[in-house]
């Protein structure tokens, strides 16, 4: 530790990560408090703090009260010197972004990609992120990781998209490919799961133990939080409700089945139908206007989406004993949909003689929920000592 160590290497060592995690959780600490909280020796704390101060990752702040000796100096993380990159990979929505350690959005860029081959798309993702880093003059060593939110069945441990109908991908090692291109650690999670994590950390579900996020608009899926923990299965298909038949003799889905949730909430499908019928583009703003005007086409879509989402909320929420359900995407913006889902849910519980205290809400994050969740995944992983795959330094 006596020689110069780049912050890339330093902040990812076990001990440095433990120090930073402790500062992150407590807000500020003195050197003696860090020694007590981490269990490290005073000499180790002194060396790590010296390097982190040199790198500008932490700062010295106010003085504490003296207990007989010199007044202790409090240390805190400079949240503007550490960043997390986020990537959203959905069928019609490819976005890269950069957040600081407080979750403040620094930069966001949508990618316009004509084809979906993994190598082509991920190369564009890497290029866009590198351009953002360069334009903001952010050193690579100040970026602690990249979080990726992708539609489909994902293996978060291996960083592989096992299968995504929306992207047309199968067994794509997203984390490995992006990590090689960027030289930065990459973590992967299913898009609905990422949104559920965003709601848990700073959204509707932050004060509840059991919650659910229903992902709509670009597909359909559910992220489930059970006892403050993301619920996953042995095959990582928990929450993949988009192509599970829900409505008897319902609409034909592109997967070949009838009654799946996806055709009732996939907004681009309605845009294509509207264009065929009228020759006009159907934007979000235009659709909201049509709903307000009582347009027959828009009213029919709202009614069908309301019924389908009410079934999804009730089927999954009651089985899992959920406290808060967040409906993401454009459908959560309509009070009539939220009201119908709430009424249907309450009525079922009333029939079961169980009082309902479940809340069905719209997401405050809207189009950045995936990105926030992916960023939070990196922060959580990085500040967990057991997850730091680097050497312990004395």
Span 278-297, pLDDT tens digits: 999 999 999 999 999 999 99
Distance of alpha carbon 162 from alpha carbon 153, whole angstroms: 5
Same domain, 334 and 269: yes
Confirm if 109 and 97 have CB atoms less than 8 A apart: yes
pLDDT tens per residue across span 153-212? 899 999 999 998 888 899 999 999 999 999 999 999 998 898 898 888 778 998 899 999
> Under 8 Å CB-to-CB from 292, ≥6 apart: which residues?
none
pLDDT tens per residue across span 36-89? 998 999 999 999 999 889 888 899 987 777 666 678 899 999 887 889 999 999
What is residue 259's DSSP assignment?
A: S
Distance of alpha carbon 279 from alpha carbon 147, whole angstroms: 39
Pair type for strands 143-150 and 83-90? parallel
Mean pLDDT of 326-353: 93
- Work out the pLDDT band at 118, boundaries 50, 70, 90: very high
- Work out the pLDDT band at 10, boundaries 50, 70, 90: low
Residue 357 lies in a domain: yes
Same domain, 208 and 329: yes
pLDDT over 90 (residue 243): no
Same domain, 73 and 142: no
Q: Please report the pLDDT score of residue 387 as a whole number.
A: 41
Same domain, 186 and 221: no
Count how many domains the chain has. Answer: 3
Distance of alpha carbon 359 from alpha carbon 366, whole angstroms: 18
Same domain, 357 and 216: yes
Q: Please report the pLDDT score of residue 224 as a whole number.
A: 93
Q: Please report the pLDDT score of residue 317 as a whole number.
A: 92
Q: Which residues pair with 150 in a beta bridge?
A: 89, 190
Same domain, 113 and 177: yes
% the chain with pLDDT above 70 = 92
Q: What is the CATH number of the domain that holds 92?
A: 3.30.420.40
Neighbouring C-alpha atoms within 13 Å toward the C-beta of 393:
23
Residue 94 lies in a domain: yes
- Global pTM? 0.78
Closest Cα to residue 323, out of 198, 218, 228?
Answer: 228
Range of the domain at 255: 204-363
Of 94-108, 207-221, 338-352, 373-387, which gets the smallest average pLDDT?
A: 373-387
Same domain, 132 and 90: yes
- In terms of phi and psi (left: phi > 0; alpha: psi -120 to 50; beta: otherwise), the region of 120 is alpha
Residue 36 lies in a domain: yes
Same domain, 335 and 248: yes
Q: Please report the pLDDT score of residue 388 as a whole number.
A: 38
């Amino acid at each position: 530790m006596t020689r110069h160590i780049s912050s890339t290497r330093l902040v990812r060592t076990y001990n440095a990560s433990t120090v930073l995690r402790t500062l992150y959780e407590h807000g500020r600490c003195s050197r003696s408090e860090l020694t007590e909280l981490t269990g490290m020796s005073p000499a180790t704390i002194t060396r790590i703090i010296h390097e982190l101060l040199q790198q500008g990752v932490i700062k010295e702040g106010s003085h504490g009260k003296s207990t007989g000796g010199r007044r202790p100096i409090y240390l805190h993380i400079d949240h503007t010197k550490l960043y997390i990159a986020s990537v959203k990979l959905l069928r019609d929505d490819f976005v890269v972004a950069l957040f600081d350690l407080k979750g403040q959005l620094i930069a966001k860029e949508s990618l316009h990609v004509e084809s979906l081959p993994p190598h082509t798309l991920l190369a564009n993702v890497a290029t866009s992120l590198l351009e953002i880093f360069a334009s903001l003059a952010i050193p690579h060593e100040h970026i602690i990781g990249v979080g990726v939110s992708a539609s489909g069945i994902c293996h978060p441990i291996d960083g592989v998209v096992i299968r995504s109908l929306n992207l047309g991908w199968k067994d794509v090692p997203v984390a490995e490919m992006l990590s090689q291109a960027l030289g930065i650690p990459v973590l992967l999670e299913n898009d609905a799961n990422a949104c559920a994590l965003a709601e848990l950390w700073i959204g509707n579900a932050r004060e509840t133990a059991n919650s659910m996020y229903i992902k709509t608009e670009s597909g359909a899926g559910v992220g489930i939080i059970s006892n403050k923990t993301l619920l996953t299965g042995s095959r990582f298909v928990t929450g993949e409700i988009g192509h599970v038949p829900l409505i008897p003799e319902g609409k034909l889905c592109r997967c070949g089945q009838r009654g799946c949730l996806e055709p009732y909430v996939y907004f681009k499908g309605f845009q294509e139908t509207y264009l065929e019928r009228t020759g006009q583009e159907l934007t979000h703003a235009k659709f909201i206007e049509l709903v307000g005007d009582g347009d027959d086409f828009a009213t029919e879509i709202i009614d069908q989406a309301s019924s389908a989402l009410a079934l999804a909320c009730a089927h999954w929420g009651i089985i899992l004993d959920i406290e808060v359900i967040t409906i993401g995407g454009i459908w959560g913006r309509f009070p009539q949909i939220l009201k119908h889902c709430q009424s249907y849910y309450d009525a079922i519980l009333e029939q079961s003689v169980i009082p309902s205290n479940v809340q069905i809400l719209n997401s405050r994050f809207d189009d950045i929920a995936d990105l926030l969740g992916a960023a939070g995944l990196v922060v959580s992983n990085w500040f967990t000592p057991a997850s730091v795959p680097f050497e312990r330094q004395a």
